[in-house]
């Protein structure tokens, strides 16, 4: 028991009641009355923590001894559950539980635990000035009786750490409610089972992690659990879900889990209970319907990745404050990066959206339910000079190593503003320091530190040669071919590289063997079979973000139901293999491919210690490939073309004009949607909205041709709109006979008091007129065939009066059309929304329509809105 208890030392027996924590503290203070004040205060604090643990976790009678000896204070706290050892926790500043033992480790000069047949005793000694280094004799909790090994594949350790902290916090709050006589809604017996099972899960997971040398992202663990623990795990899942429901109702101080934490917790408990009952394991990266399994969310949040991102990126904490921002985001919005750190996110939002953001963010924290996480949302961002910058906002959550959840937002400008001049390069980002290392510290890693230092020096030539290969070409397949040549010279006997296209389909772009005489059949190159949804195949898991994975069983005789795994094993059969490492090419925007490195000789296999350095090597490869792909996609002048094709709106007295253009969430390419407004020679205002079929650079070029053609004809002869469209159709049919497009052309006439619209349509959705009172109707007269069908067909014109302060909206079908929905239903939904915002400022009117109707559009959206304001 550390130091034996001297004869005659008084003790205090206490029932497992919360008020006895205070009684124990008073007893210790009285027993140590002659000790130094700082020793007395520390002893009282630590005693309170240990007795609290006995009340909460052991739930048996506790006994406390305390005495002073030569200025040294000694305290012993025992309970009647010797079979339940302690569960040490990694100390995280954001954890709501597990602080008692952490305080003991930090404040006590010596401490430990001892168990015998009747009791478990935790002890600590204190000196006014510590005369000896701290010692420890922990006996940690181990699964009782027979155990079963559970395989937990592709565990993102930061997500596990956050989930564990959260469910322990919920159980703690639930216990406090129960002890205070509140209506917790959970039977005391179930709560006790849940607490005990939680300790077993945490202890078993900690022991399994200690045996691993993790890479930078995921762990594949083999965890020993008690064979009869499945009912307890099921109870734990049920109790935690009940606690979370109480948290949503505001009955607990703890907040409910965010979606990715809740999803991971359910997966973890279901895997443990299921495998204990004989089920086959399902990897986290391949579990169907699990939120938070995207490649970005597998990795722990790293502020340096914000700086490295090419896309404008802002990171915020759960207090809605910016903690990191890169130069691209700051420049887009007119700031220096360091000026934004510490500000609230609302500083980057127009005034009319701030209340909505605060409500949505608060709702997310209080309910754990999100409407926008993982979706591409078109919204206006606020430039420092007050301008609205239309962007698409994509928010994901990542867990930091200290237990926080970080909200990472990528901003994609939907119209390209003039590029700001490049200021002198500053830090790139400024962030509040994140405590702790970038990976989960384990005993295995600490033991291997010296060895890794020597091995890292041996790997320097590999990193240097790989870097040269990455900078030698901008073609991704050729880049990977050159990288594989480097890897086969230094690291593997042969290597294969796969790339994922924008639809998630994998293609094997190269196979490189160290021996130039090795014959590689073309049948192993090209498109790979689809990765199954739920399989343990290493390549399938890696293509979803797991790994790097060490594979030592490359037997070709192993049965498989996966065509992808069969293809992989056939290649191993042809080229040979004793061990392999499969690593994802995980870049900023997700997994872009995978590398397979194989050693044929059994005497020099890959080992687990190789994974840390391979992880760093493959990360640089992935970033190089991603940069090359990004260069290819932006090599064309699509952005400059888009800027040129979106005109500056004319200034018309007593008339407000506003326009929006939002590319689809599915692609960043410019398409065939356009709007236009210009002043005619007689002073009238021409208004145009249109959509050329197709969504690529060719469609954009055709749209530009058609737009300029319409401008020229409209200015040359100021004829009725139907006649103008007929002349445009004739000209287009002659010059571009394959072109088809829809269009509305209108001429706005007025003298500041009364306004009227003369208009004609070529197969396009009709303009929508909304009065100030909220009444809305479509101007559906003057319709005709789309351009390119029958150039000789007559085209009628129509005429409608515009009441003062009414809003006239021209729009393309991307705003309303949804797959499988009748067009009439879509038009009616838009009509109801415009009525709701009839009195809003015109900018707000357009922004709200795009936010509410365009969030998940797979097509471009163009809007042109006007409002007469006599």
pLDDT range class, residue 674, cuts 50, 70, 90: confident
The 3-state secondary structure of 765-830 reads CCCEEECCCCCEEECCCCCCCCECCCCCCCCCCEEEEECCCCEEEEECHHHCCCCCCCHHHHHHHH
- List the single range of 294-308, 483-497, 771-785 with lowest mean pLDDT: 294-308
pLDDT range class, residue 420, cuts 50, 70, 90: very low
* Percent with pLDDT over 90 in the chain: 24
> What pLDDT score does 271 carry?
92
Q: Where is mean pLDDT largest: 72-81, 201-210, 769-778?
A: 769-778
The 3-state secondary structure of 474-519 reads CCHHHHHHHHHHHHHHHCCCEEEEEEECCCCCEEEEEEEECCCCCC
Question: Token pair for residue 575?
Answer: 């080229």
Instruction: Read off the pLDDT of residues 61-102 as tens digits, 9 standing for 90 and up.
Output: 999 999 988 778 889 999 988 877 776 666 555 556 666 677
Q: Which residues pair with 809 in a beta bridge?
A: 768, 865
The sign of the CA dihedral 462, 467, 468, 470 is: positive
Residues 6+ apart with CB under 8 A from 716: none
> What pLDDT score does 446 carry?
37
Calculate mean pLDDT across residues 396-422.
69
pLDDT surpasses 60 at 114 = yes
Instruction: Read off the pLDDT of residues 469-493 as tens digits, 9 standing for 90 and up.
Output: 888 788 888 888 888 888 888 888 8
> What pLDDT score does 681 carry?
92
Instruction: Read off the pLDDT of residues 696-716 as tens digits, 9 standing for 90 and up.
Output: 667 777 888 888 899 999 998
Question: Token pair for residue 788?
Answer: 């390119």
pTM: 0.72
Calculate mean pLDDT across residues 732-760.
87
pLDDT surpasses 50 at 394 = yes
> What pLDDT score does 430 carry?
34
Comparison of pLDDT for 457 and 387, the residue scoring more:
387
Run of H or E including 468: helix 449-470
Comparison of pLDDT for 507 and 212, the residue scoring more:
507
Comparison of pLDDT for 309 and 95, the residue scoring more:
309
- List the single range of 183-192, 213-222, 596-605, 632-641 with lowest mean pLDDT: 632-641
> What pLDDT score does 94 carry?
57
pLDDT range class, residue 695, cuts 50, 70, 90: low
Please name the residue ranges forming H helices in 222-373: 230-248, 259-276, 295-298, 303-308, 327-332, 337-340, 351-367
pLDDT surpasses 70 at 319 = yes
pLDDT range class, residue 425, cuts 50, 70, 90: very low
What backbone phi and psi angles, to 5 degrees, belong to 698? -65, -40
pLDDT range class, residue 444, cuts 50, 70, 90: very low
Mean pLDDT of the chain: 81
> What pLDDT score does 325 carry?
92
> What pLDDT score does 566 carry?
81
Q: 539: phi > 0 → left, psi -120 to 50 → alpha, else beta; which?
A: alpha
> What pLDDT score does 356 carry?
87
> What pLDDT score does 438 carry?
36
Comparison of pLDDT for 368 and 484, the residue scoring more:
484
Closest CA to 429 of 303, 312, 321, 319: 303
Question: Token pair for residue 211?
Answer: 């045996």
Calculate mean pLDDT across residues 350-370.
86
> What pLDDT score does 435 carry?
33
> What pLDDT score does 591 carry?
87
pLDDT surpasses 60 at 793 = yes
> What pLDDT score does 457 carry?
64
């Amino acid at each position: 028991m550390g130091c034996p208890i001297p004869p005659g030392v008084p003790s205090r027996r206490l029932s497992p009641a919360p008020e006895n924590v205070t009684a124990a503290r008073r007893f210790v203070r009285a027993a140590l009355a002659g000790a130094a004040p700082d020793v007395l205060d520390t002893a009282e604090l630590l005693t309170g923590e240990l007795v609290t643990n006995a009340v909460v976790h052991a739930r048996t009678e506790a006994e406390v001894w305390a005495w002073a000896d030569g200025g040294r204070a000694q305290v012993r706290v025992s309970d009647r559950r010797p079979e339940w050892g302690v569960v040490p926790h990694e100390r995280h500043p954001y954890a709501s539980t597990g602080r008692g033992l952490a305080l003991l480790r930090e404040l006590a000069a010596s401490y430990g635990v001892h168990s015998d047949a009747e009791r478990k005793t935790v002890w600590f000694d204190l000196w006014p000035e510590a005369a000896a280094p701290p010692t420890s004799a922990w006996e940690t909790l181990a699964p009782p009786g027979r155990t079963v090994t559970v395989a937990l594949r592709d565990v993102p350790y930061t997500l596990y750490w956050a989930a564990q902290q959260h469910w322990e916090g919920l159980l703690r709050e639930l216990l406090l409610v129960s002890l205070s006589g509140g209506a917790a809604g959970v039977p005391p017996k179930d709560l006790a089972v849940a607490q005990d099972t939680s300790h077993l899960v945490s202890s078993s997971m900690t022991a399994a992690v200690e045996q691993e040398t993790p890479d930078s992202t995921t762990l594949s663990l083999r965890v020993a659990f008690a064979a009869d623990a499945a009912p307890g795990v099921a109870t734990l899942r049920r109790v935690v879900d009940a606690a979370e429901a109480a948290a949503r109702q505001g009955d607990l101080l703890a907040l409910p889990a965010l979606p990715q934490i809740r999803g991971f917790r359910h997966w973890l408990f279901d895997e443990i209970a299921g495998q204990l009952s004989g089920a086959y394991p399902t990897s986290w990266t391949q579990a169907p319907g699990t939120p938070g399994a995207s490649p970005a969310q597998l990795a722990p949040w790293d502020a340096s990745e914000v700086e490295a991102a090419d896309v404008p990126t802002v990171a915020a904490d759960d207090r809605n404050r910016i903690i990191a921002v890169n130069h691209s985001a700051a420049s887009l919005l007119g700031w220096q990066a360091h000026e934004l750190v510490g500000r609230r996110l609302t500083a980057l939002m127009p005034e009319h959206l701030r209340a909505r953001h605060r409500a949505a963010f608060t709702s997310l924290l209080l309910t754990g339910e999100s409407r926008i996480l993982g979706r591409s949302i078109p919204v206006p961002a606020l430039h420092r000079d007050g301008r609205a910058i239309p962007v698409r906002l994509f928010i994901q959550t990542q867990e930091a190593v200290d237990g926080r959840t970080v909200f990472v937002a990528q901003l994609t400008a939907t119209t390209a503003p003039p590029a700001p001049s490049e200021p002198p390069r500053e830090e790139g980002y400024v962030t509040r320091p994140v405590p702790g290392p970038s990976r989960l510290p384990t005993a295995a890693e600490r033991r291997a530190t010296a060895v890794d230092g020597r091995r890292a020096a041996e790997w320097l030539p590999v990193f240097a040669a790989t870097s040269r290969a990455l900078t030698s070409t901008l073609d991704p397949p050729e880049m990977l071919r050159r990288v594989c040549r480097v890897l086969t010279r230094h690291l593997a006997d042969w290597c294969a590289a796969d790339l994922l296209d924008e639809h998630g389909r994998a293609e094997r772009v190269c196979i490189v063997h160290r021996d130039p005489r090795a014959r590689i059949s073309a049948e192993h190159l090209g498109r790979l079979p689809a990765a199954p949804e739920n399989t343990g195949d290493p390549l399938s898991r890696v293509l979803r973000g797991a790994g790097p994975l060490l594979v030592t069983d490359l037997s070709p005789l192993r049965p498989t139901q996966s065509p992808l795994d069969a293809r992989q094993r056939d290649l191993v059969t042809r080229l040979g293999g004793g061990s392999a490492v499969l690593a994802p090419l995980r870049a900023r925007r997700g997994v872009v491919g995978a590398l397979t490195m194989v050693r044929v000789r059994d005497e020099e296999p890959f080992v687990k210690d190789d994974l840390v350095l391979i992880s760093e090597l493959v990360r640089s490869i992935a970033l190089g490939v991603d940069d090359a792909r990004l260069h290819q996609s932006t090599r064309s002048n699509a952005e400059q073309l888009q800027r040129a094709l979106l005109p500056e709106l004319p200034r018309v007295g007593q008339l407000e004009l506003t326009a929006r253009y939002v590319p689809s969430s599915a692609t960043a390419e410019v398409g065939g949607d356009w709007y236009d407004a210009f002043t005619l020679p007689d002073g009238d205002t021409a208004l145009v909205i249109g959509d050329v079929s197709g969504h690529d650079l060719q469609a954009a070029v055709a749209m530009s041709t058609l737009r300029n053609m319409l401008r020229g004809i409209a200015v040359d002869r100021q004829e009725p709109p139907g006649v103008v469209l007929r002349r445009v159709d004739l000209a287009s049919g002659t010059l571009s006979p394959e072109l088809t497009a829809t269009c509305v052309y209108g001429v706005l006439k007025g003298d500041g008091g009364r306004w009227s619209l003369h208009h004609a349509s070529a197969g396009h959705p009709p303009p929508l007129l909304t009065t100030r009172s909220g009444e809305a109707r479509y101007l559906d007269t003057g319709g005709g065939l789309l351009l390119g069908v029958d150039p000789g067909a007559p085209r009628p014109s129509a005429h409608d009066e515009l009441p003062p302060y009414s809003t006239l909206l021209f729009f393309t079908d991307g705003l309303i059309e949804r797959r499988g929905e009748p067009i009439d239903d879509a038009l009616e939904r838009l009509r109801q929304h415009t009525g709701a915002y009839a009195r809003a400022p015109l900018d707000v009117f357009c922004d709200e329509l795009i936010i509410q109707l365009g969030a998940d559009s797979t097509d471009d959206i163009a809007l042109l809105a006007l409002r007469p304001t006599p």
